[in-house]
Amino acid sequence: MALAVVHSRGLDGLTAPPVQVEVHLAAGLPGFTLVGLPDVEVREARDRVRAAVVNSGFEFPARRITVNLAPADLPKESGRFDLPIAVGILAASGQIPSQLLDSHEFAGELSLSGELRPIRGALAMALQAAGDGRRFILPEESAAQAVLAGSGEILSGATLLAVCAHLCGRESLPAATAMIAQTVDPVPDIAEVRGQAQAKRALEIAAAGGHSLLMLGPPGAGKSMLAARLPGLLPVLSPVAARESAAILSLAGQFRPAAFARRPIRSPHHTASAVALVGGGNPPRPGEISLAHQGILFLDELPEFDRKVLETLREPLESGRIHIARAARQADFPAEFQLVAAMNPCPCGHQGSPSGRCRCTPDQIARYRGRVSGPLLDRIDLHIEVPALAGEVLLARPEGESSDSIRERVTLALEKQHQRQGKTNARLNAAEVDAHCIPEEEAAALLRQAMARLDLSARAWHRILKVARTVADLACSDAIRAPHVAEAIQYRRLAHG
């Protein structure tokens, strides 16, 4: 047989469209031609495949070889096509049977010795391939990720020789099994935080409603310490959400099967570019906001980020998605992250300190805070001040509820929200706010007063109602009462006065 067709998959954003690897052997001078819009990494497959075939004990055909990666208008990248190309050449040259090719899909990078190396996006590929009814052959490490898709048959291959033995019916490849963590990294407990009762309460509300949070306070007050304890207040991800998060991380090659169902935490440095934060490149890759999907994005020293970089957060904070458009390609990535930001009150960080250490002028303070735009601040639900702690508080034994205790209340509140509206309070749109966040008359009067005194925007009005709904859910109240609204209003005071 001079022609073989092997099934594989490419990557286009978060989708993994099918790719047919067509291999044709013809008479003439020996040559190896790759067509079908391959990039540099794919074109280099010619040398990797040749060496892997020879070192696996097969004969590399001394004929004119043409490999077509179809469809031709889909860009092909990375070394994921090494394995299907090698299998296609061996089938077209008659060294392995071709009967089983149509019932399998292949992806994997080959070493020169014929070993299979892991590839990016294995889980995303497996999720797309689940409905095709084919068995998916992947490198061992990639197969351990792909099996978490929960559907489809994933086979684990260590070498090209083992894959060929499977196709010849001599020795079947083993079914992939997920890696189970023997030890789980402990999550810091909020009970370790001394003082900061208001900040702990705000953290509980943020966890219970999926709200974004901004902490303002001097260096060493505990802002980063508090942010690190937010994951401990959140329940584990549902299977669907866990697969979504894992698929995004697998695109960047950063997914660990042992961390499956654990919320991702991303904390980019303030020198990060806009592309690093929201994604981009050619082909488009997910940025930090998408890698934090279903998890937490922590931005420390918020005003030190470039203002243009911060402005890119405005749309995904509202929509939960990011659309990346380039001249040749477009990609759409989910970005339902929970933003936690921290900043100092002034350039030196000591404004309001009883010691009088701050020497910043009002103009310097205004310029410093002005690096974070009003529209972005308006999109952050909770604003809290984290003051410096007195010496006696630091010397005292930590007291307060544990993360486990708070997580029980948070879990109940989240379950209540999903039963009522199918999403967290932070994700409610305007119509859903009108339907599910109706305050009692006294609470509505209090909110109207705040609207006039603080000069609130319509967006702030809705966000106060969402936070008040979360406070009511934590209190197991179906109605939004005046105390709930009053507490929600106090979390807007840093942004509005």
pLDDT digits (tens, 9 = 90+) for 259-275: 888 899 999 999 999 99
pLDDT for 183:
52
**What are 46's strand-pairing partners?**
none
Q: Where in the chain is the domain with CATH 3.30.230.10?
A: 3-167
pLDDT of 181 = 55
Gyration radius from the chain CA atoms = 27
β-bridge partners, 149: none
- Return the SS3 of 342: strand
Q: Considering the chain, tell me which residue range(s) the CATH 3.40.50.300 domain(s) occupy.
A: 190-404
Q: What is the pTM of this model?
A: 0.89
Query: How are beta strands 109-110 and 116-117 bridged, if at all?
Result: antiparallel
190-404 domain in CATH 3.30.470.20? Answer: no
pLDDT at site 233: 94
Fold of 3-167: Ribosomal Protein S5; domain 2 (3.30.230)
Inter-CA distances, 118 with 122, 138, 349, Å: 8, 8, 46
At CB < 8 A and 24+ separation, what contacts does 471-475 make? 471/205, 473/208, 473/209, 473/413, 473/416, 473/417, 473/425, 474/204, 474/205, 474/208, 474/409, 474/410, 474/413
pLDDT of residue 111: 96
Ranges of residues in the chain with a pLDDT under 50 are 497
